[in-house]
Amino acid sequence: MRCKALSALGVALLFVLSLATPAAAEERVPTITVERVPTTVDLSAVVQQVSPGTVTPLDASCPTYHLCVWWSRNYGGAGKTVYGGDDQGWRETSFQIRSAKNQFTERAVGFYNINTGLRVRCLNPRDQRPGPFPDATRIIYIGALGSRC
């Protein structure tokens, strides 16, 4: 009989505590997750390999809402690669990046050394860099919407 009385008391106590939980939940501060551009690359991570596009030499144009990278300084050379807004994440080019234009309006882009994994450059939205980029810059990280260097 005594066990049943303690069980009933325990159930009643749990019921009273459950009524107090919503007030405590309202006082909690919500957790906000912000994606940041990393400062190093995990070289074991999966990276999508891309090749240079075919454009005319010295084509320095880059459409809005895109990232363009060239294998020559001053946006020149025989090829460039263009990434669109759906290309968020890691990319690896098949060539040394020498110049770049970040025409995204709300995405930062990090540039990394393929040998060390260290970030060597970062372009905020609407930034461009005619060069130079350090040797072995072949990995790109296109950030999430709202990202900044």
Q: Largest alpha-carbon pair distance within the chain?
A: 92
Q: Which CATH number applies to 48-142: 2.40.160, 2.60.20, 1.10.8, 1.10.287?
A: 2.60.20
pTM for this one? 0.62
Give the DSSP H or E segment for 91.
Answer: strand 89-93
Instruction: Decide if pLDDT at 13 tops 50.
Output: no
45-74 residue pLDDT tens? 444 444 444 443 446 789 899 999 998 899
What is the model's pLDDT at position 78? 63
Instruction: Decide if pLDDT at 37 tops 90.
Output: no
- CA torsion through residues 35, 38, 44, 47, sign: positive
CA-wise closest residue to 122 among 36, 43, 46: 36
103-143 residue pLDDT tens? 999 999 999 999 999 999 999 999 999 999 999 999 999 99
